[in-house]
Amino acid sequence: MDNIITTERLTKKYKRFTAVDGVSLHIRRGSIYGFLGPNGAGKSTTMKMLLGITAPTAGSFSIDGRHFPEDRTAILKGIGSLIESPAFYANLTGRENLDILRRILELPKDTVDDALELVGLTEAGNRLAGKYSLGMKQRLGLAGALLGRPPLLLLDEPTNGLDPSGIHEIRSLIQSLPERYHCTVMISSHMLSEIERMADDVGILNHGRLLFEGSLEELRCYAGGQGKPAGGLGKSADGGAAAYLQPGGVRLEDVFLAMVEQDNAAGKRRAE
Contact residues for other proteins (CB under 8 A)?
Answer: 48, 51-55, 72-77, 79, 81, 83-92, 96, 99-101, 103-106, 128-130, 144
Q: How far is the CB of 45 from other proteins (least distance, A)?
A: 9
241-257 CB burial, b ≥16 within 10 A, e <16: eebbeeeeebbbbbbbe
- 64 vs 253, beta carbon nearer other proteins: 64
Q: Tell me whether the omega of the peptide bond preceding residue 164 falls within 30 degrees of 0, making it cis.
A: no
- 40 vs 231, beta carbon nearer other proteins: 40
Q: How far is the CB of 271 from other proteins (least distance, A)?
A: 27
- 151 vs 231, beta carbon nearer other proteins: 151
- 129 vs 187, beta carbon nearer other proteins: 129
Q: Are 127 and 163 in contact (CB under 8 A)?
A: no
- 34 vs 86, beta carbon nearer other proteins: 86
Strand order of the β-sheet with 201-206 is 79-82, 152-156, 184-188, 32-36, 201-206, 209-215
- 23 vs 82, beta carbon nearer other proteins: 82
By C-alpha distance, which of 227, 209, 207, 225 is closest to 217? 225
Q: What is the 3-state secondary structure (H, E, C) of 1-43?
A: CCEEEEEEEEEEEECCEEEEEEECCEEECCCEEEEECCCCCCH
Its sign, for the CA torsion 256, 259, 263, 266, is: positive
- CA gap 51, 61 in Å, rounded: 11
Instruction: Count the Cβ atoms, other than its own, within 10 Å of residue 182.
Output: 11
